[in-house]
Amino acid sequence: MTNNDIFKKLRVAHKLRDDDIIKILELVDFRVSKSELGAFFRREDHPNYRECGDQILRNFLNGLIIHLRGPMPKKQNPKHKKSNN
């Protein structure tokens, strides 16, 4: 199974449109055009087919996590208060 297949299956499973995927990628500061995105979803024998690299799939998955769960809460450093008793 290729990255393109995984990307396609995630797109269908989450009922995502091109605009949704572009917004998800923007959540992790990754920019991609609609035409670039469309090239990933074409058949392999199509002249404009483009192989989906690991970086694109990784950024999409990270963006999808943020999209579904929301941003990670910031870690708070516990302040240890020492009492002078």
Summarised one tens digit per residue, pLDDT across range 5-31 is 999 999 999 999 999 999 999 999 999
Classify residue 55: in a domain, yes or no. Answer: yes
Half-sphere exposure of 83 (CA within 13 A, CB side): 1
Classify residue 83: in a domain, yes or no. Answer: no
Confirm if 63 and 28 have CB atoms less than 8 A apart. yes
CA gap 33, 68 in Å, rounded? 22
Question: What is the number of structural domains in the chain?
Answer: 1
pLDDT (mean) for 26-50: 94
If we measure between CA atoms, which residue out of 19, 8, 18 comes closest to residue 52?
8
Classify residue 74: in a domain, yes or no. Answer: no
Classify residue 14: in a domain, yes or no. Answer: yes
pTM of the entire predicted model: 0.80
Classify residue 77: in a domain, yes or no. Answer: no
Classify residue 61: in a domain, yes or no. Answer: yes
Classify residue 81: in a domain, yes or no. Answer: no
Q: Which residues form the domain of 31?
A: 3-69
Residue 83 pLDDT > 60? no
